[in-house]
């Protein structure tokens, strides 16, 4: 008499697989609010996993602020928003000392920068000295007030939006600040089908012209993000892939038509973002394609076109595409 075959138990999911499943849920939740911008959503999640900051550029009305609000809703940590204006002072960002008449002593009043997610809205509406108030906290994860170094909560991420610099009333960001952004994302008009879906959903909303984010579920807590970042940082990177990332960044320094090349931060960002991209797609290791997928967002704000190429009608996206074609990628 044959024994009844017992069903085989499914193997338990690994931490990496659990992380991938959670990220897919987060991505799906954000896409409920931001329609037709899947690539931008993925890039922001890559920056979150890699512990980097993001600069999002686009004309008004494309959902830059909505994206950050949706991420803040899905993320259960603290969220602050600063509306950058020409009269904004650095102390309005970082905080300042306030004199208390009762105690006859100064007390530190922390600014909105002491948070997990910081939305710097229309950052290029403020002059350079106010923009520079973010330099220390973006690099060191701390703010010095009255000689005292105060750490900000972890994880910490700056998501800045800016209008195209050709628009009236904007100030270019200092190069030192631009380099501290891991990624610069260009958000464009949605496809026709996505725009139809967008209009359909917005016109059903109680608000005049905005999508609701209050219905989104909170799926992440600060400790969860730190665990995801640790798992991502441990994703294997072959030496050939690491060398490829460095060669891409170094190639920009001698590339014809580029006045300014990318520094070592670009090499680091390519590898960190490549790991995050591999994690987001559920990969077991980083491939050259993961590096390529991040290249434009990592490099576009770190290089500068020569006047000759601009006159000839070339743009950065075209030059970066040429660079990716001509710099040999390893075959794994």
Q: Residue 1 has what pLDDT?
A: 46
H or E segment at 106? strand 105-110
Distance CA 225, CA 231 (A): 10
Domain count, the chain: 2
In a shared domain, residues 136 and 241: no
Distance CA 269, CA 184 (A): 12
Nearest residue to 211 (alpha-carbon basis) of 194, 191, 187: 194
**What is the chain's mean pLDDT, rounded?**
87
Residue 8 maps to a domain = no
Q: Residue 87 has what pLDDT?
A: 92
Q: Which residues 6+ apart lie within 8 Å of 269 measured at CB? A: 50, 52, 182, 183, 294, 298
Domain final residue, candidates 234, 254, 269: 234
**Which CATH number belongs to the domain containing residue 247 in this structure?**
1.10.8.80
Flag the least confident range among 72-86, 93-107, 226-240, 285-299.
Answer: 93-107
Predicted confidence band of residue 212 (pLDDT cuts 50, 70, 90): low
Distance CA 142, CA 160 (A): 18
In a shared domain, residues 141 and 218: yes
Residue 2 maps to a domain = no
How far is CA 46 from each of CA 84, 272, 281, rounded to the nearest angstrom? 25, 9, 10
Residue 1 maps to a domain = no
List b or e across 168-196, with b for residues whose CB sees 16 or more CB atoms inside 10 angstroms: eebbebeeebebbbbbbbbbeebeeeeee
Q: Residue 117 has what pLDDT?
A: 93
Q: Residue 251 has what pLDDT?
A: 95
Over range 31-58, report the average pLDDT: 90
Residue 9 maps to a domain = no
Predicted confidence band of residue 257 (pLDDT cuts 50, 70, 90): confident
Domain final residue, candidates 234, 258, 283: 234
Domain final residue, candidates 199, 234, 269: 234
In a shared domain, residues 133 and 191: yes
DSSP 231-280: HHHTS---HHHHHHHHHHHHHTTT-TTEEE---HHHHHHHHHHHHHHHHH
Distance CA 63, CA 60 (A): 8
In a shared domain, residues 169 and 194: yes
Q: pLDDT of 285-317, one tens digit each?
A: 999 999 999 999 999 999 988 888 778 777 888
Pairing, β 95-100 against β 105-110: antiparallel
% of residues, the chain, pLDDT over 90 = 49
Distance CA 275, CA 298 (A): 13
Residue 269 has pLDDT above 90, yes or no: yes
Residue 134 maps to a domain = yes
Nearest residue to 51 (alpha-carbon basis) of 286, 300, 271: 271
Predicted confidence band of residue 182 (pLDDT cuts 50, 70, 90): very high
Contact between 248 and 319 (Cβ < 8 Å): no
Distance CA 142, CA 135 (A): 10
Flag the least confident range among 131-135, 174-178, 253-257, 270-274.
Answer: 174-178
Predicted confidence band of residue 206 (pLDDT cuts 50, 70, 90): low
Predicted confidence band of residue 241 (pLDDT cuts 50, 70, 90): very high
Q: How many other C-beta atoms are found inside a 10 Å radius of the C-beta of residue 14?
A: 11
Instruction: List the domain range (segments joined by +) for residue 52.
Output: 15-234
Q: Residue 5 has what pLDDT?
A: 56
Q: pLDDT of 140-173, one tens digit each?
A: 999 988 888 899 999 999 999 887 765 666 788 8
Q: Which residues 6+ apart lie within 8 Å of 66 measured at CB? A: 33, 34, 210, 211, 213
Residue 213 maps to a domain = yes
């Amino acid at each position: 008499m044959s024994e009844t075959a017992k069903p085989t138990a499914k193997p338990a999911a690994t931490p990496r697989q659990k992380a991938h499943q959670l990220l897919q849920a987060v991505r799906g939740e954000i896409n409920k609010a931001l329609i037709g911008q899947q690539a931008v959503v993925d890039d922001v999640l890559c920056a979150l996993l890699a512990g980097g900051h993001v600069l999002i550029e686009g004309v008004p009305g494309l959902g830059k602020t909505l994206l950050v609000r949706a991420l803040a809703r899905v993320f259960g940590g603290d969220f602050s928003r600063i509306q950058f204006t020409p009269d904004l002072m650095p102390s309005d960002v970082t905080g300042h000392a306030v004199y208390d008449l009762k105690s006859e002593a100064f007390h530190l009043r922390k600014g909105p920068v002491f948070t997990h997610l910081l939305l710097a809205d229309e950052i290029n509406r403020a002059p350079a000295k106010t923009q520079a108030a973010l330099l220390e906290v973006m690099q060191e994860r701390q703010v010095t007030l009255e000689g005292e170094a105060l750490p900000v909560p972890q994880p910490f991420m700056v998501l800045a939006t800016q209008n195209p610099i050709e628009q009236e009333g904007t100030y270019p960001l200092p190069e030192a600040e631009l380099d501290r952004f891991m990624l610069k994302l260009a958000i464009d008009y949605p496809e026709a089908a996505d725009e139809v879906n967008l209009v359909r959903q917005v016109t059903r909303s109680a608000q005049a012209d905005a999508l609701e984010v209050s219905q989104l579920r909170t799926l992440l807590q600060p400790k969860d993000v730190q665990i995801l970042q640790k798992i991502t940082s441990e994703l294997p990177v072959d030496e050939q892939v690491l060398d490829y990332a460095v060669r891409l960044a170094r190639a920009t320094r001698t590339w014809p038509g580029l006045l300014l090349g990318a520094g070592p931060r670009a090499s680091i960002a390519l590898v960190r973002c490549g790991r995050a991209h591999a994690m987001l797609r559920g990969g077991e290791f980083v491939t050259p394609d993961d590096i390529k997928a991040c290249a434009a967002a990592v490099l576009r704000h770190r290089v500068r076109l020569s006047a000759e190429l601009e006159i000839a009608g070339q743009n950065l996206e075209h030059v970066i595409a040429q660079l990716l074609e001509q710099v040999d990628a390893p075959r794994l």
